Amino acid sequence: MSFRKPFTCCKKRVPVAALNRFLTREFTERYSGMLLELDTANPTYCSKRMCSAFIPPASIKGNQATCPKCAFVTCRLCKKADHADICNEDETGRQLISLAESKKWQACPHCKIIVDKIDGCLHMSCRCGTEFCYNCGKSSSLCSGTCARRR
């Protein structure tokens, strides 16, 4: 749809149902989609460069927006490709990162999930499969347990 404006009569939007008998079903479906896009506050678009399709609110679960055309997943908050770590646009997430820094919790170097070591050795095995040093945060293959202990 190149015009991107709703049909109006007397400065009021014409209901889609009124168009059904005059226009094809395909056109009214596309028109309804355009109206949904125009009416959606802070719309999300597919972050895949060759797609950029509008992602309707029904295709958004939490912060993950799945494109109905190409199935690519976009972060609803930052509008970039979905990511496992905490989004910089998420206020609650930023508060969690601040708390983690003050408590000296460590994040997995691969998936960025935050972990808190309660007891045991410094060798961590993340649920994503990455093994890392809780002390320095480096992959186990890089640290080898020789890093200086932090307090």
Q: Domain boundaries in the chain?
A: 1-39, 42-83, 91-143
- Residue 45 contacts residue 55 (beta carbons within 8 Å): yes
pLDDT score for 61 = 95
Q: What is the distance, to the nearest Å, from the Cα of residue 114 to the centroid of all Cα atoms in its chain?
A: 18
- Residue 116 contacts residue 126 (beta carbons within 8 Å): no
CA–CA distance, 148 with 5 (Å, rounded to integer): 63
CA–CA distance, 44 with 23 (Å, rounded to integer): 28
Chunked mean pLDDT (size 10), the chain, 151 residues: 77 87 89 92 94 96 95 94 84 87 86 82 83 84 70 49
Return the residue matching tokens 């226009």: 23
CA–CA distance, 103 with 33 (Å, rounded to integer): 47
Closest-CA residue to 135 (of 112, 111, 114, 104): 104
CA–CA distance, 28 with 7 (Å, rounded to integer): 11
pLDDT score for 149 = 64
Tokens of 39: 């009416």
Cross-strand bridge partners of residue 131: 125
78 counts as catalytic = no
pLDDT score for 45 = 96
Q: Which of 9, 121, 128, 133 is catalytic?
A: 121
Query: Is pTM, for the whole model, over 0.95?
Result: no
